[in-house]
Amino acid sequence: MGNQANESVQKAPQNLTLSDLVFSDQANHNFSRILTDLKKSNLSITNRLHSIKEDARFVSDVAQTLARPLVANERCGSWYIPPTSKAGSAYFKSTDGHTGQWKFSTRRLNLHLLAIIGENDGCIIVDSTRRGKRMPDALSKTIPTWCCVLNRVLFPERSDKHALYTPPNVVSESEHAQMEARIPGFVDAFKALTLDMGSWSQLEKPLRPMWVTQESELFAADTIFEDYHPVICCTSSRRVTGGEMSEGGYIQGAGDDTENWALGLNPAAFWDHDEELLATPEVELPILIASLLSGQSARPPQEGPQQVSPGLFVSPLGQEAAPSFTCTISLLPKATDASTWVKSNTQMEVGLGKHKLASRNLRSALPAICEFAKSALVASQTLAHDQSSPVPSNILILCETGKDISVGVALALLCQFFDEAGNLGDLDQRPDVNKSIIKVKLSRIMTAFPGANPSRATLQSVNSFLMG
């Protein structure tokens, strides 16, 4: 009897079928769907906003402890700094620090940071990165390259301060050596811009990058760095090596990739209404965000015209033209017939459409825009001659943001009608333009107006027009 019982127990597994041992297709589908739903719920807008607020408290503690101003590395960094605490913005791209693709951007020079650093003996640049990474490449490699290049340009005699510094727990010795080998070429490219650095930098000491994460021990606020200004690279988010489900809803780098989750919400709107947003259930957030953005868009422009070069100004649409402007060129976010563009001798409204369409349409519109600007400039010169007194030749260019299409038009006009010093040139003779000249003049515009953000499509249209 005992033997028979043992035999039945041993034979029982042999009667199982494959379907008993393996999930069916339907079971696998359901399991996959459950995992997907769980992931979506953990990556919800609510969890992202709470994670941002948690990381922002860390950033605030860093600023208080180290007693340096906070600078947001755009776009991500602004999510972690309340506007009242933000001393400025920086534009260091992580792609310029990708392995094997290290670059020093002559377009985004970030020279406006030098005044902040000099006045405060350093600054704290805030950024974040996705799950699993210790810190973003912008902080670990792009900014160290920037510091090294500027040190060699601003302090050529201080060869002892020309070394490249990178975080050893992020950048290997091999990668560090490859990056450092490119520095001389970056220095030459910077010098080729022939910028007047005396007007930008009053630094007393070279720059030295340092790195802070949520695992770091912070130095005291009264620490004195006698040999350099500290450029403190702060990674706002703590590192997550597993999935979000194991973190109780916390999301590393929650402020990144906003086009995929924020529904148009931006840092300014978040910090204006953070308590309301954090207290609102997930299902009600889309309606609330739409309402907040509607109220935000109804606000009048907060900034006046930005001078990008002597005689050239850009601004968002809605800015009233002042009598001091020779002419005003408005670039409208709707397509209109070219025959309707010229409104008067001093007013032009060019309907290009929105976004990428506007950037593409700019190529065919630039001849008419330049001809209109030229006529206005000739008229102002004639008036100055008749009055035997100087008349300002100032052109105001407006677009939806004041940072994209208008900057592209300003670049085209700068290359067409102004000399290297920014003075009005011979209007009857089009100068020779090449990529090098365009690059130099664009860098000067971006240095004068760091907030400018011309898209690649906009710049391609300008290049095609100038060299076509």
pLDDT in tens, 360-407: 999 999 999 999 999 999 888 776 666 655 556 789 999 999 999 999
pLDDT at 428: 78
pLDDT at 358: 94
Domain ranges of the chain: 45-241+250-293, 306-467
At how many degrees (to 10) do helices 173-191 and 143-154 cross? 50
21 vs 154 pLDDT, higher one: 154
- Nearest 5°: the CA angle 357, 360, 361 is 85
Q: Give Cα separations from 274 to 54, 104, 225, 280 (angstroms).
A: 12, 36, 37, 10
Percent of the chain at pLDDT above 90? Answer: 68
Question: 306-467 sits in which CATH class?
Answer: alpha beta
* Concatenated DSSP letters of 235-300: E-SPP--S-GGGGTT--TTTTS-GGGTSTT--HHHHHHSHHHHHHS-GGGHHHHHHHHHHHHHTSP
| Phi/psi of residue 326, nearest 5 degrees | -60, -45
Give residues with Cβ within 8 angstroms of 126, minimum separation 6. Answer: 59, 70, 71, 72, 73, 77, 80, 81, 234, 236
Residue 115 pLDDT level (bands cut at 50, 70, 90): very high
Beta-carbon-side half-sphere exposure of residue 86 (alpha carbons within 13 Å) = 20
Indicate whether 246 pLDDT > 60: no
Mean pLDDT of 225-239: 95
| Phi/psi of residue 397, nearest 5 degrees | -120, 125
Spatial separation of the C-alpha atoms in residues 195 and 157, rounded to whole Å: 19
Task: Please choose, from the candidates 324, 114, 66, 360, the residue with its C-alpha nearest in 3D space to the C-alpha of residue 216.
Answer: 66
Is the whole model's pTM more than 0.75, yes or no?
Answer: yes
Spatial separation of the C-alpha atoms in residues 385 and 408, rounded to whole Å: 31
pLDDT in tens, 167-198: 999 999 999 999 999 999 999 999 999 888 87
| Phi/psi of residue 384, nearest 5 degrees | -65, -40
Residues 415, 75, 106, 119, CA torsion sign: positive
pLDDT at 342: 97
